[in-house]
Structure 1
Amino acid sequence: MSFAIESVPPIDASPSETPVLRNGQRADGRQNSELRPTYLKKGVVNRASGSAYLETDETKVICSVYGPRDVGKHDDFLKGKVSCYFKFLPFSTIQRQASIYRTRQERELGCLMEKTLESAICLEKFPRAEIDVYVNIIQDGGNAFSAAMTCASTALADAGIEMYDLVPSCSVACKSSNMLLDPTPQELSAPSSDGSLVLSLLPGSNEVASLFSEGRVDSGTLIKALRESVDGCVRMHAVMRQALTETEK
Protein backbone atom coordinates (compact mmCIF):
# COMPACT_ATOMS: atom_id res chain seq x y z
CA MET A 1 0.00 0.00 0.00
CA SER A 2 1.52 3.32 -0.99
CA PHE A 3 1.76 6.46 1.09
CA ALA A 4 2.32 9.64 -0.88
CA ILE A 5 2.98 13.14 0.45
CA GLU A 6 2.95 15.66 -2.35
CA SER A 7 3.21 19.43 -2.65
CA VAL A 8 1.25 21.03 -5.48
CA PRO A 9 0.22 24.60 -6.28
CA PRO A 10 -2.97 25.69 -4.50
CA ILE A 11 -6.07 25.18 -6.61
CA ASP A 12 -7.68 28.45 -5.54
CA ALA A 13 -5.12 31.23 -5.56
CA SER A 14 -7.24 34.38 -6.06
CA PRO A 15 -7.24 36.72 -3.03
CA SER A 16 -10.47 37.43 -1.19
CA GLU A 17 -11.49 40.19 1.22
CA THR A 18 -14.45 38.24 2.60
CA PRO A 19 -13.91 37.34 6.28
CA VAL A 20 -13.40 33.61 6.78
CA LEU A 21 -15.19 33.66 10.15
CA ARG A 22 -17.79 36.10 11.45
CA ASN A 23 -18.24 35.96 15.22
CA GLY A 24 -16.84 32.44 15.18
CA GLN A 25 -19.18 31.27 12.39
CA ARG A 26 -18.30 30.42 8.79
CA ALA A 27 -19.64 32.76 6.11
CA ASP A 28 -21.96 30.06 4.68
CA GLY A 29 -23.42 29.25 8.10
CA ARG A 30 -21.77 25.84 8.53
CA GLN A 31 -20.04 24.57 11.64
CA ASN A 32 -16.26 24.13 11.34
CA SER A 33 -16.56 20.34 11.08
CA GLU A 34 -19.58 20.33 8.75
CA LEU A 35 -19.44 19.09 5.14
CA ARG A 36 -21.46 20.78 2.43
CA PRO A 37 -24.50 18.78 1.22
CA THR A 38 -23.28 16.30 -1.42
CA TYR A 39 -25.10 14.83 -4.40
CA LEU A 40 -23.39 11.78 -5.89
CA LYS A 41 -24.76 9.63 -8.72
CA LYS A 42 -23.23 6.69 -10.57
CA GLY A 43 -23.72 5.61 -14.19
CA VAL A 44 -24.18 9.02 -15.79
CA VAL A 45 -22.15 8.37 -18.99
CA ASN A 46 -23.70 5.61 -21.08
CA ARG A 47 -20.71 4.58 -23.21
CA ALA A 48 -18.18 4.50 -20.36
CA SER A 49 -17.29 1.35 -18.43
CA GLY A 50 -18.22 3.29 -15.30
CA SER A 51 -18.96 6.89 -14.41
CA ALA A 52 -20.08 9.23 -11.64
CA TYR A 53 -21.20 12.80 -11.09
CA LEU A 54 -20.58 14.69 -7.85
CA GLU A 55 -22.00 18.04 -6.84
CA THR A 56 -21.40 19.82 -3.56
CA ASP A 57 -22.64 23.40 -3.47
CA GLU A 58 -20.68 25.17 -6.25
CA THR A 59 -18.24 22.33 -6.95
CA LYS A 60 -19.28 20.02 -9.78
CA VAL A 61 -17.26 17.07 -11.10
CA ILE A 62 -17.90 14.33 -13.65
CA CYS A 63 -15.72 11.25 -14.10
CA SER A 64 -15.64 8.51 -16.75
CA VAL A 65 -13.72 5.23 -16.58
CA TYR A 66 -12.75 3.16 -19.62
CA GLY A 67 -11.21 -0.29 -19.51
CA PRO A 68 -9.45 -2.34 -18.48
CA ARG A 69 -8.05 -2.67 -22.00
CA ASP A 70 -5.11 -4.78 -23.18
CA VAL A 71 -2.02 -2.68 -23.94
CA GLY A 72 0.53 -5.49 -24.29
CA LYS A 73 3.85 -5.17 -22.51
CA HIS A 74 4.81 -2.21 -20.36
CA ASP A 75 7.20 -1.56 -17.47
CA ASP A 76 5.49 -4.02 -15.09
CA PHE A 77 3.42 -6.38 -17.22
CA LEU A 78 2.43 -8.47 -14.19
CA LYS A 79 0.27 -5.61 -12.94
CA GLY A 80 -2.21 -3.28 -14.57
CA LYS A 81 -1.70 0.43 -15.08
CA VAL A 82 -3.90 3.43 -14.21
CA SER A 83 -3.86 6.61 -16.31
CA CYS A 84 -5.68 9.68 -14.98
CA TYR A 85 -6.56 12.74 -17.04
CA PHE A 86 -7.48 15.68 -14.81
CA LYS A 87 -8.93 18.79 -16.46
CA PHE A 88 -10.52 22.06 -15.36
CA LEU A 89 -13.07 22.96 -18.02
CA PRO A 90 -12.65 26.49 -19.46
CA PHE A 91 -15.67 27.86 -17.57
CA SER A 92 -14.96 26.07 -14.26
CA THR A 93 -12.98 28.88 -12.63
CA ILE A 94 -13.05 32.68 -12.57
CA GLN A 95 -9.90 32.74 -14.70
CA ARG A 96 -10.98 30.98 -17.90
CA GLN A 97 -8.58 28.48 -19.43
CA ALA A 98 -8.58 28.76 -23.20
CA SER A 99 -6.02 26.04 -23.91
CA ILE A 100 -7.21 22.53 -24.78
CA TYR A 101 -3.93 21.17 -23.39
CA ARG A 102 -3.51 20.29 -19.73
CA THR A 103 -1.64 22.78 -17.60
CA ARG A 104 1.24 21.84 -15.32
CA GLN A 105 -1.12 21.95 -12.34
CA GLU A 106 -3.58 19.61 -14.06
CA ARG A 107 -0.81 17.16 -14.95
CA GLU A 108 0.48 17.17 -11.36
CA LEU A 109 -2.98 16.60 -9.94
CA GLY A 110 -3.51 13.79 -12.47
CA CYS A 111 -0.26 12.13 -11.39
CA LEU A 112 -1.22 12.42 -7.72
CA MET A 113 -4.59 10.87 -8.51
CA GLU A 114 -2.86 7.98 -10.32
CA LYS A 115 -0.62 7.26 -7.33
CA THR A 116 -3.59 7.43 -4.96
CA LEU A 117 -5.80 5.09 -7.01
CA GLU A 118 -2.94 2.63 -7.51
CA SER A 119 -3.01 2.00 -3.76
CA ALA A 120 -6.71 1.12 -3.91
CA ILE A 121 -7.08 -0.90 -7.15
CA CYS A 122 -6.15 -4.59 -7.27
CA LEU A 123 -3.81 -4.03 -10.23
CA GLU A 124 -2.46 -7.59 -10.06
CA LYS A 125 -5.91 -8.70 -11.28
CA PHE A 126 -5.37 -6.84 -14.57
CA PRO A 127 -1.97 -7.88 -16.01
CA ARG A 128 -0.97 -6.15 -19.26
CA ALA A 129 -4.04 -3.92 -19.00
CA GLU A 130 -4.67 -0.20 -18.61
CA ILE A 131 -7.54 1.61 -16.91
CA ASP A 132 -8.22 5.17 -18.11
CA VAL A 133 -9.82 7.65 -15.73
CA TYR A 134 -11.06 10.99 -17.11
CA VAL A 135 -11.97 13.69 -14.60
CA ASN A 136 -13.51 17.01 -15.64
CA ILE A 137 -14.04 19.83 -13.15
CA ILE A 138 -17.23 21.49 -14.40
CA GLN A 139 -17.20 24.12 -11.66
CA ASP A 140 -14.60 24.72 -8.98
CA GLY A 141 -16.30 25.96 -5.84
CA GLY A 142 -13.54 24.76 -3.51
CA ASN A 143 -12.22 21.34 -2.48
CA ALA A 144 -12.00 20.36 -6.18
CA PHE A 145 -9.32 17.67 -5.88
CA SER A 146 -11.09 15.92 -3.01
CA ALA A 147 -14.35 15.98 -4.97
CA ALA A 148 -12.54 14.60 -8.03
CA MET A 149 -10.93 11.76 -6.06
CA THR A 150 -14.24 10.79 -4.45
CA CYS A 151 -15.98 10.90 -7.83
CA ALA A 152 -13.24 8.87 -9.57
CA SER A 153 -13.31 6.15 -6.92
CA THR A 154 -17.09 5.88 -7.25
CA ALA A 155 -16.79 5.65 -11.06
CA LEU A 156 -14.22 2.85 -10.75
CA ALA A 157 -16.58 0.90 -8.49
CA ASP A 158 -19.40 1.51 -10.97
CA ALA A 159 -17.15 0.03 -13.70
CA GLY A 160 -16.76 -3.15 -11.66
CA ILE A 161 -13.02 -2.60 -11.12
CA GLU A 162 -11.89 -4.74 -8.20
CA MET A 163 -10.54 -2.55 -5.39
CA TYR A 164 -9.29 -3.00 -1.85
CA ASP A 165 -11.52 -0.13 -0.77
CA LEU A 166 -13.24 3.03 -1.93
CA VAL A 167 -11.17 6.22 -1.63
CA PRO A 168 -13.06 9.14 -0.10
CA SER A 169 -11.15 12.40 0.11
CA CYS A 170 -11.53 15.58 2.19
CA SER A 171 -9.64 18.81 2.71
CA VAL A 172 -9.25 21.14 5.68
CA ALA A 173 -8.32 24.83 5.76
CA CYS A 174 -6.39 25.93 8.84
CA LYS A 175 -7.02 29.33 10.42
CA SER A 176 -5.36 29.80 13.80
CA SER A 177 -7.01 27.18 16.03
CA ASN A 178 -9.96 26.67 13.66
CA MET A 179 -10.05 23.63 11.35
CA LEU A 180 -12.48 24.34 8.48
CA LEU A 181 -13.61 21.08 6.86
CA ASP A 182 -14.56 21.10 3.15
CA PRO A 183 -13.42 24.72 2.63
CA THR A 184 -14.82 27.20 0.13
CA PRO A 185 -12.54 29.15 -2.26
CA GLN A 186 -12.76 32.16 0.05
CA GLU A 187 -11.63 30.09 3.03
CA LEU A 188 -8.73 28.60 1.07
CA SER A 189 -7.42 31.84 -0.39
CA ALA A 190 -8.05 34.25 2.49
CA PRO A 191 -4.86 36.05 3.62
CA SER A 192 -5.66 35.03 7.21
CA SER A 193 -5.57 31.32 6.30
CA ASP A 194 -2.46 29.49 7.54
CA GLY A 195 -2.65 26.65 5.03
CA SER A 196 -4.61 23.60 4.00
CA LEU A 197 -4.44 19.81 3.97
CA VAL A 198 -5.96 17.27 1.55
CA LEU A 199 -6.34 13.64 2.61
CA SER A 200 -7.44 10.56 0.66
CA LEU A 201 -8.21 7.57 2.86
CA LEU A 202 -8.82 3.81 2.68
CA PRO A 203 -11.47 3.66 5.45
CA GLY A 204 -11.62 -0.12 5.79
CA SER A 205 -7.99 -0.39 6.89
CA ASN A 206 -7.72 3.22 8.10
CA GLU A 207 -4.72 3.72 5.79
CA VAL A 208 -3.67 6.97 4.11
CA ALA A 209 -3.74 6.70 0.32
CA SER A 210 -2.35 10.21 -0.22
CA LEU A 211 -1.74 13.36 1.78
CA PHE A 212 -0.56 16.78 0.72
CA SER A 213 -0.60 20.25 2.20
CA GLU A 214 0.33 23.82 1.38
CA GLY A 215 1.14 26.80 3.57
CA ARG A 216 2.97 27.01 6.86
CA VAL A 217 1.31 24.80 9.45
CA ASP A 218 2.96 23.59 12.66
CA SER A 219 2.92 19.92 13.62
CA GLY A 220 0.22 20.31 16.27
CA THR A 221 -2.15 22.07 13.87
CA LEU A 222 -1.35 19.49 11.19
CA ILE A 223 -2.39 16.64 13.50
CA LYS A 224 -5.68 18.40 14.32
CA ALA A 225 -6.35 18.98 10.61
CA LEU A 226 -5.56 15.33 9.87
CA ARG A 227 -8.08 14.15 12.48
CA GLU A 228 -10.77 16.41 11.04
CA SER A 229 -10.10 15.23 7.49
CA VAL A 230 -10.21 11.55 8.56
CA ASP A 231 -13.62 12.16 10.13
CA GLY A 232 -14.77 13.89 6.94
CA CYS A 233 -13.55 10.98 4.80
CA VAL A 234 -15.48 8.49 6.93
CA ARG A 235 -18.68 10.48 6.44
CA MET A 236 -18.03 10.84 2.70
CA HIS A 237 -17.45 7.08 2.49
CA ALA A 238 -21.04 6.55 3.69
CA VAL A 239 -22.28 8.84 0.90
CA MET A 240 -20.30 6.83 -1.68
CA ARG A 241 -21.67 3.51 -0.44
CA GLN A 242 -25.22 4.84 -0.59
CA ALA A 243 -24.74 6.11 -4.16
CA LEU A 244 -23.37 2.75 -5.30
CA THR A 245 -26.17 0.73 -3.72
CA GLU A 246 -29.01 2.89 -4.99
CA THR A 247 -31.04 1.32 -7.80
CA GLU A 248 -32.49 3.20 -10.76
CA LYS A 249 -36.12 4.18 -10.30
Structure 2
Amino acid sequence: MGSITATETVAPQSMGVASSTKQGLLYVGARFTNPDLPYPDFARWYDEIHIPHLASMRNCRAAMRYTRVTEPSVDGREVTQSSSMPYATFYPLHDVSWLHSEEFDSAKDSTEADYLPGRSVFKSVDFEGRGYELVGGSSVMGGGEGKGATRFIVFTTYKSRKGGIARADDECMEKFYDAVAALPGCRGITRYLYCDVQRPEMAAKFEASGQWPARDAVIHGLDVEKGVLDSVYRARDEVAKKLSDSSTLDVAIYELLIGLDG
Protein backbone atom coordinates (compact mmCIF):
# COMPACT_ATOMS: atom_id res chain seq x y z
CA MET A 1 0.00 0.00 0.00
CA GLY A 2 2.72 2.37 -1.17
CA SER A 3 1.42 5.88 -0.67
CA ILE A 4 -0.39 4.99 2.53
CA THR A 5 2.37 3.30 4.49
CA ALA A 6 5.11 5.58 3.17
CA THR A 7 4.15 8.34 5.59
CA GLU A 8 5.25 7.91 9.17
CA THR A 9 2.85 6.75 11.86
CA VAL A 10 3.54 8.32 15.25
CA ALA A 11 3.87 5.69 17.96
CA PRO A 12 1.32 5.96 20.78
CA GLN A 13 4.16 6.27 23.33
CA SER A 14 5.37 9.50 21.68
CA MET A 15 1.93 11.00 22.24
CA GLY A 16 1.87 10.12 25.94
CA VAL A 17 -0.43 7.16 25.39
CA ALA A 18 0.17 3.62 26.63
CA SER A 19 1.56 1.23 23.99
CA SER A 20 -1.36 -1.19 24.46
CA THR A 21 -3.82 1.39 23.13
CA LYS A 22 -5.02 1.54 19.54
CA GLN A 23 -5.35 4.97 17.99
CA GLY A 24 -8.48 5.39 15.96
CA LEU A 25 -11.30 7.55 14.69
CA LEU A 26 -14.95 8.10 15.46
CA TYR A 27 -17.00 9.06 12.42
CA VAL A 28 -20.50 10.46 13.02
CA GLY A 29 -22.76 11.13 10.05
CA ALA A 30 -25.91 13.23 10.52
CA ARG A 31 -29.13 13.96 8.65
CA PHE A 32 -32.32 15.75 9.70
CA THR A 33 -35.48 13.77 10.44
CA ASN A 34 -37.51 16.60 11.99
CA PRO A 35 -38.34 19.59 9.75
CA ASP A 36 -39.12 21.61 12.90
CA LEU A 37 -35.41 21.75 13.74
CA PRO A 38 -33.85 24.76 11.94
CA TYR A 39 -30.27 24.23 10.78
CA PRO A 40 -28.96 27.27 12.74
CA ASP A 41 -30.22 25.72 15.99
CA PHE A 42 -28.65 22.38 15.08
CA ALA A 43 -25.33 24.05 14.22
CA ARG A 44 -25.40 26.16 17.38
CA TRP A 45 -25.89 23.04 19.54
CA TYR A 46 -23.29 21.01 17.69
CA ASP A 47 -20.59 23.69 17.49
CA GLU A 48 -21.07 25.36 20.89
CA ILE A 49 -22.23 22.51 23.13
CA HIS A 50 -21.79 18.97 21.85
CA ILE A 51 -18.45 19.09 19.99
CA PRO A 52 -16.62 21.07 22.71
CA HIS A 53 -17.97 18.59 25.27
CA LEU A 54 -16.51 15.59 23.43
CA ALA A 55 -13.29 17.38 22.48
CA SER A 56 -12.61 18.07 26.16
CA MET A 57 -12.66 14.37 27.03
CA ARG A 58 -9.36 12.65 27.77
CA ASN A 59 -9.24 10.31 24.76
CA CYS A 60 -10.46 12.72 22.10
CA ARG A 61 -7.55 14.35 20.26
CA ALA A 62 -9.66 16.78 18.22
CA ALA A 63 -13.05 17.29 16.58
CA MET A 64 -13.84 18.47 13.06
CA ARG A 65 -17.33 19.01 11.64
CA TYR A 66 -17.78 18.96 7.87
CA THR A 67 -20.51 19.40 5.30
CA ARG A 68 -20.58 17.24 2.22
CA VAL A 69 -19.60 18.93 -1.04
CA THR A 70 -22.28 18.60 -3.71
CA GLU A 71 -20.84 16.86 -6.72
CA PRO A 72 -21.04 18.97 -9.89
CA SER A 73 -23.26 17.66 -12.66
CA VAL A 74 -21.70 16.54 -15.94
CA ASP A 75 -23.56 17.30 -19.20
CA GLY A 76 -26.63 18.24 -17.19
CA ARG A 77 -27.02 14.79 -15.64
CA GLU A 78 -28.55 14.49 -12.18
CA VAL A 79 -25.98 13.58 -9.54
CA THR A 80 -27.02 11.16 -6.82
CA GLN A 81 -24.87 11.37 -3.73
CA SER A 82 -23.70 7.97 -2.52
CA SER A 83 -24.31 8.93 1.10
CA SER A 84 -27.55 10.13 2.67
CA MET A 85 -25.60 11.86 5.46
CA PRO A 86 -24.93 15.49 4.44
CA TYR A 87 -22.95 16.27 7.61
CA ALA A 88 -20.04 14.39 9.14
CA THR A 89 -17.97 14.91 12.26
CA PHE A 90 -14.61 13.20 12.77
CA TYR A 91 -13.04 12.65 16.19
CA PRO A 92 -9.44 11.30 16.12
CA LEU A 93 -8.93 9.17 19.23
CA HIS A 94 -5.93 8.23 21.35
CA ASP A 95 -7.57 4.86 22.03
CA VAL A 96 -10.52 3.52 20.04
CA SER A 97 -11.64 1.36 23.00
CA TRP A 98 -12.73 4.65 24.63
CA LEU A 99 -15.94 4.32 22.62
CA HIS A 100 -17.01 1.70 25.18
CA SER A 101 -16.20 3.86 28.20
CA GLU A 102 -18.50 5.50 30.73
CA GLU A 103 -16.99 8.86 29.79
CA PHE A 104 -18.09 8.45 26.18
CA ASP A 105 -21.54 7.37 27.37
CA SER A 106 -21.83 10.73 29.13
CA ALA A 107 -21.64 12.54 25.79
CA LYS A 108 -25.42 12.60 25.56
CA ASP A 109 -25.48 14.65 28.75
CA SER A 110 -24.65 17.63 26.52
CA THR A 111 -27.71 17.29 24.30
CA GLU A 112 -30.23 19.55 25.99
CA ALA A 113 -30.73 23.21 25.11
CA ASP A 114 -33.71 25.50 25.65
CA TYR A 115 -33.98 26.41 21.96
CA LEU A 116 -34.23 22.78 20.73
CA PRO A 117 -37.55 21.07 19.89
CA GLY A 118 -38.03 18.23 22.34
CA ARG A 119 -34.92 19.52 24.16
CA SER A 120 -32.72 16.91 22.43
CA VAL A 121 -31.15 16.86 18.98
CA PHE A 122 -31.18 13.07 19.16
CA LYS A 123 -34.96 13.25 18.70
CA SER A 124 -34.65 15.33 15.53
CA VAL A 125 -31.50 14.09 13.80
CA ASP A 126 -30.47 10.63 12.68
CA PHE A 127 -26.86 9.94 13.62
CA GLU A 128 -24.70 7.13 12.25
CA GLY A 129 -21.58 6.32 14.26
CA ARG A 130 -18.65 4.17 13.17
CA GLY A 131 -15.42 3.33 14.97
CA TYR A 132 -12.17 2.89 13.04
CA GLU A 133 -8.69 1.75 14.04
CA LEU A 134 -5.63 3.56 12.67
CA VAL A 135 -3.50 1.21 10.57
CA GLY A 136 -1.24 3.34 8.36
CA GLY A 137 -0.09 6.68 7.11
CA SER A 138 0.04 9.82 9.22
CA SER A 139 -1.47 9.52 12.70
CA VAL A 140 -2.79 13.06 12.18
CA MET A 141 -6.05 12.63 10.27
CA GLY A 142 -5.45 13.57 6.66
CA GLY A 143 -2.53 15.74 7.73
CA GLY A 144 -4.52 18.10 9.94
CA GLU A 145 -6.59 18.06 13.09
CA GLY A 146 -8.58 20.50 15.14
CA LYS A 147 -7.85 24.13 14.41
CA GLY A 148 -5.21 23.01 11.91
CA ALA A 149 -7.64 20.86 9.93
CA THR A 150 -7.49 20.95 6.15
CA ARG A 151 -10.18 22.83 4.24
CA PHE A 152 -11.38 19.63 2.53
CA ILE A 153 -11.08 15.93 3.18
CA VAL A 154 -11.61 13.06 0.76
CA PHE A 155 -13.18 10.20 2.71
CA THR A 156 -12.89 6.97 0.73
CA THR A 157 -14.39 3.67 1.87
CA TYR A 158 -13.69 0.51 -0.08
CA LYS A 159 -14.95 -3.05 0.39
CA SER A 160 -11.85 -5.05 -0.48
CA ARG A 161 -12.32 -8.68 -1.47
CA LYS A 162 -10.23 -11.87 -1.57
CA GLY A 163 -8.76 -13.68 -4.57
CA GLY A 164 -7.12 -12.75 -7.86
CA ILE A 165 -9.77 -10.24 -8.90
CA ALA A 166 -9.44 -8.52 -5.54
CA ARG A 167 -5.69 -8.03 -6.04
CA ALA A 168 -6.35 -6.29 -9.34
CA ASP A 169 -8.99 -4.12 -7.65
CA ASP A 170 -6.56 -3.25 -4.86
CA GLU A 171 -3.97 -2.15 -7.42
CA CYS A 172 -6.58 0.12 -9.03
CA MET A 173 -7.37 1.61 -5.64
CA GLU A 174 -3.68 2.28 -5.00
CA LYS A 175 -3.54 4.31 -8.20
CA PHE A 176 -6.56 6.32 -7.06
CA TYR A 177 -4.99 7.00 -3.64
CA ASP A 178 -1.74 8.04 -5.35
CA ALA A 179 -3.60 10.37 -7.72
CA VAL A 180 -5.30 12.20 -4.86
CA ALA A 181 -2.10 12.28 -2.78
CA ALA A 182 -0.26 13.85 -5.74
CA LEU A 183 -2.62 16.84 -5.91
CA PRO A 184 -0.98 20.14 -4.96
CA GLY A 185 -2.31 20.96 -1.53
CA CYS A 186 -2.65 17.38 -0.28
CA ARG A 187 -1.31 17.62 3.25
CA GLY A 188 -1.51 13.96 4.23
CA ILE A 189 -3.13 10.56 3.91
CA THR A 190 -4.32 8.29 6.71
CA ARG A 191 -5.67 4.75 6.57
CA TYR A 192 -8.15 3.08 8.91
CA LEU A 193 -9.93 -0.25 9.34
CA TYR A 194 -13.51 -0.51 10.52
CA CYS A 195 -13.45 -1.93 14.05
CA ASP A 196 -14.74 -5.46 14.41
CA VAL A 197 -16.29 -4.61 17.77
CA GLN A 198 -18.73 -1.69 17.63
CA ARG A 199 -20.92 -0.15 20.28
CA PRO A 200 -24.28 -1.98 20.45
CA GLU A 201 -26.31 1.00 19.22
CA MET A 202 -23.93 1.47 16.28
CA ALA A 203 -23.94 -2.19 15.31
CA ALA A 204 -27.70 -2.58 15.71
CA LYS A 205 -28.48 -0.26 12.77
CA PHE A 206 -26.15 -2.14 10.46
CA GLU A 207 -27.41 -5.51 11.66
CA ALA A 208 -31.00 -4.47 10.99
CA SER A 209 -30.24 -3.25 7.47
CA GLY A 210 -27.75 -5.96 6.61
CA GLN A 211 -25.53 -3.25 5.12
CA TRP A 212 -22.30 -3.12 7.09
CA PRO A 213 -19.78 -0.34 6.35
CA ALA A 214 -16.76 -1.03 4.18
CA ARG A 215 -13.80 -2.28 6.17
CA ASP A 216 -11.17 -0.07 4.52
CA ALA A 217 -11.29 3.71 4.94
CA VAL A 218 -8.77 6.29 3.72
CA ILE A 219 -8.71 10.03 4.39
CA HIS A 220 -6.80 12.59 2.31
CA GLY A 221 -6.53 16.13 3.65
CA LEU A 222 -6.62 18.85 0.99
CA ASP A 223 -5.90 22.56 1.21
CA VAL A 224 -7.00 23.49 -2.30
CA GLU A 225 -9.36 25.69 -4.23
CA LYS A 226 -12.78 24.13 -4.69
CA GLY A 227 -12.32 23.72 -8.45
CA VAL A 228 -9.47 21.27 -7.86
CA LEU A 229 -11.99 18.81 -6.42
CA ASP A 230 -13.22 18.02 -9.95
CA SER A 231 -10.00 16.07 -10.49
CA VAL A 232 -10.85 13.87 -7.51
CA TYR A 233 -14.22 13.00 -9.04
CA ARG A 234 -12.56 12.26 -12.38
CA ALA A 235 -10.02 9.97 -10.73
CA ARG A 236 -12.82 8.23 -8.86
CA ASP A 237 -14.79 7.68 -12.06
CA GLU A 238 -11.74 6.22 -13.80
CA VAL A 239 -11.01 3.72 -11.04
CA ALA A 240 -14.71 2.80 -10.71
CA LYS A 241 -14.71 1.71 -14.36
CA LYS A 242 -11.85 -0.69 -13.69
CA LEU A 243 -13.17 -2.29 -10.50
CA SER A 244 -14.90 -5.65 -10.76
CA ASP A 245 -17.77 -4.13 -8.76
CA SER A 246 -17.98 -0.32 -8.64
CA SER A 247 -20.41 -0.49 -5.70
CA THR A 248 -17.50 -1.49 -3.45
CA LEU A 249 -16.19 2.09 -3.69
CA ASP A 250 -17.58 5.23 -2.04
CA VAL A 251 -15.85 8.60 -2.27
CA ALA A 252 -17.21 11.55 -0.29
CA ILE A 253 -15.65 15.01 -0.22
CA TYR A 254 -16.33 17.23 2.77
CA GLU A 255 -15.67 20.90 3.48
CA LEU A 256 -14.65 22.04 6.97
CA LEU A 257 -17.19 23.93 9.08
CA ILE A 258 -15.46 23.93 12.46
CA GLY A 259 -12.34 22.40 13.99
CA LEU A 260 -11.39 22.13 17.65
CA ASP A 261 -8.32 20.74 19.38
CA GLY A 262 -8.83 18.16 22.06
Measured against the shorter chain, the TM-score band is under 0.3
In the superposition, the TM-score normalised over structure 1's length comes to 0.25
More helix by share: 2
